Amino acid sequence: MESTRNKLISLLAKERDRFISGQALSVALNISRNAVWKHMNELKKDGYQIEAQSNKGYRITGFPEKISENTLQWGLETEWAGRTIIHKEIVNSTQTIAHEAARSNAAHGTAVIADEQIEGKGRMNRDWQSAKDQGLWLSLILRPEIQPQQAPQLTLLTATVLADVLSLYTETAPMIKWPNDILLNEKKCAGILTEMQAEQDQIKYIIIGIGLNVNQEEKELTATIQNKATSLKAATGKDWSLKELFQTFMSAFEKAYDSYIENGFSEIKSKWESYGFKIGQQIRIKTMNKSWDALFTGISNDGALVIEEEDGNLTTLYSAEIDWLK
């Protein structure tokens, strides 16, 4: 159900060239005029520019870029993805907040988003830089009715949605480096971390964490990762709206997820492979015991790496160190 705050914004935005009286807003929203005034003050705190004149009423003259639960939800065209938003200015990790919310029965599709993370994590417990207001630092709570062994498919689904959004919205040419990194110009722009709470045959919840570098200048990426990481701004020379990226991703994710639940994984697998970095090329593989070259042919249904050995046999790898840039 649309909130009173969002209904108010919609009314003001629809009539932004003229004033709307407090009485008219009170009737339209079925709230008191004092409640209208309180909502206006909250909108101002969120960065909306509201002009008020006695005997005329209110009109909206500017929309904020500041992220908040309210600004993210206004204009969000989804049925369940992001309909509940938990916004924090600064957190250790959105994953931690999302786990706490999920254990407290947060709804399917709840999004946890932060302006800044101070202990952002990627796979293998690696650090992820999450500077204030410079990226999309997001965790999404899902409660899918699938078997626990299918959970890795949701990581691959998320990667394809993110690649689609970057390709269509920012007109870049992303690639997905197995298993879950999004590359622009062969540098990492985004990572995905999936965590699950499940019983033997039932998923309680899945949390998909996304870190997307958006508006960092190249010089702002620390020296240790400058040669490995990039951002949308570094790749395109433009600033990007975090709000619009969030809303575009949520809308695309909801459609892809619903299609996956109804139709299965085959379409996602094909799409992932269309974005797959180094598919059809030789890669260097290292394990505890040996190092060798093989042809990267694609992924399996459970997200494993599939390679073709020199003898033509296909091998499935679940864990290995890959030298992608050999």
266-292 pLDDT, tens digit per residue, is 999 999 999 999 999 999 998 888 899
Which domains does the chain possess? 4-62 (1.10.10.10), 69-275 (3.30.930.10), 282-323 (2.30.30.100)
Lowest mean pLDDT among 2-16, 98-112, 129-143: 2-16
Q: What is the pLDDT of residues 75-92, one digit of tens each?
A: 888 999 999 999 998 998
DSSP of 55-74, one letter per residue? Answer: TTEEEEEE---S--HHHHHT
Mean per-residue pLDDT over the chain, rounded = 88
Q: Averaged over 92-108, what is the pLDDT?
A: 95
If one compares 10 and 111, the residue with the highest pLDDT of the two is: 111
The encoded tokens of residue 294 equal 């093989």
**Distance from C-alpha of 204 to C-alpha of 141, rounded to nearest angstrom:** 10
Q: Residue 126: is its pLDDT beyond 60?
A: no
Look at residue 208 and give its three-state secondary structure. Answer: strand
Q: Averaged over 43-62, what is the pLDDT?
A: 86
Count Cβ atoms below 10 Å from residue 101 Cβ, excluding itself. Answer: 20
The pTM of the full predicted model, rounded to 2 decimals, is 0.83
Contact 56, 21 (CB under 8 A): yes
Q: Averaged over 320-325, what is the pLDDT?
A: 82
What local confidence, expressed as pLDDT, does residue 43 receive? Answer: 85
Q: Residue 168: is its pLDDT beyond 60?
A: yes
According to DSSP H, which parts of the chain are helical? 4-14, 22-29, 33-45, 69-73, 94-103, 152-169, 232-236, 242-263, 266-275
Which of 189, 176, 190 lies closest to 303, judged by CA?
A: 176
What local confidence, expressed as pLDDT, does residue 124 receive? Answer: 45
Look at residue 205 and give its three-state secondary structure. Answer: strand
